Structure 1
């Protein structure tokens, strides 16, 4: 799909990977719609080449977020590209309370579906569209203390494959990206010893950058013959 002039909605796009993706689409000439739990700050909006429309809300609240998206359609906006990036972690041993497990599932997996459903319906009518879901290598390999996160991200991969099959005959491509250890607020919070331990398991011996995820998103958007795939961007951590 040609990106210039297309409208892209990116969830969780006011910081980290989501913000990098939004800036990459802006630079490529797309019409970007931002999303976050709160209204984006003036500092965030100043990083773009033009005024950025935005929607707000917790994606785990189906009624709230779907009303926001449906309002866009009612105002005449057509979403050509959807990037499901918003998510959370709440790392605890598998003995965690059921509420802690459900919370991460509700945001990461149910939230991805909540956003996708109204957009997918409209894309079917247009017979065109691109959806890219942010999963994680943890969804492929699992990890100690992340049973909830791993389950949610594995679920996103299954959702991606099913949507890709349903959407193929309607001109809709759906793919997932599974980032590895990317420089972020989460990795910055690690101790030096923890960072060094992780690096020993990464063949390329460095952490990834948010821009490397953003460029992979652009690649998957442009390539019209890739669907139903999960692309790992992890420096070789999961080989």
Structure 2
């Protein structure tokens, strides 16, 4: 990327770095993802001069086998954690990745793809 003076690096973080949930056993993963968020900013600063963009996508709850591994039989039962009242789909993360990979003027950012999870909650 340095040689060609162009490139895009997209890291995957988590919204839980900025919006923790009590009772959710995720201390180690959140700590490592927090490091990814910081690494994104530092690499963007180091390689911006080489036209290399570095960004992070921070997903909310995305439908995956992870919910079943955590003992959650119905992933949709977590929909209320998002303002849009649904969980995300993998293709929505892919769309964000495509957007960031195609952009020529976004770097050092963490983009939440979380249906409003980090903004607030409905009572």
Q: TM-score, normalised by structure 1?
A: 0.46
For structure 2, the residue ranges without an aligned partner over 5 or more in a row are none
**How do 1:49-64 and structure 2 match up within 5 A?**
none
In the alignment, is residue 214 of structure 1 matched against residue 103 of structure 2?
A: no
Q: Indicate the residue corresponding to 1:236 in structure 2.
A: 116
**How do 1:156-171 and structure 2 match up within 5 A?**
156-171=36-51
Deviation at 1:195, TM superposition (A): 4.7
CA contact (8 A) 1:139 1:152 kept: no
The DSSP-based 3-state class of the residue aligned with 1:175 is: strand
d(CA) in 1 for partners of 2:81, 2:17: 17
Q: Indicate the residue corresponding to 1:149 in structure 2.
A: 29
The DSSP-based 3-state class of the residue aligned with 2:82 is: coil
d(CA) in 2 for partners of 1:154, 1:220: 20
d(CA) in 2 for partners of 1:145, 1:215: 29
For structure 1, the residue ranges without an aligned partner over 5 or more in a row are 1-122
Greater relative CO, 1 or 2 (CA 8 Å, sep 6+): 2
Q: TM-score, normalised by structure 2?
A: 0.86
Q: Indicate the residue corresponding to 1:52 in structure 2.
A: none
d(CA) in 2 for partners of 1:226, 1:176: 11
Q: Indicate the residue corresponding to 2:85 in structure 1.
A: 205
CA contact (8 A) 1:160 1:176 kept: yes
CA contact (8 A) 2:76 2:87 kept: no
Q: Indicate the residue corresponding to 1:125 in structure 2.
A: 3
Deviation at 1:126, TM superposition (A): 2.3
Root-mean-square deviation (CA, aligned residues, Å) is 1.5
Deviation at 1:176, TM superposition (A): 0.3
Q: Which runs of 4+ in 1 moved over 4 A?
A: none
The DSSP-based 3-state class of the residue aligned with 2:3 is: helix
**Paired residues, number:** 115
Q: Indicate the residue corresponding to 1:140 in structure 2.
A: 18
CA contact (8 A) 2:82 2:115 kept: yes
Which protein has the larger Cα radius of gyration, Structure 1 or Structure 2?
Answer: 1
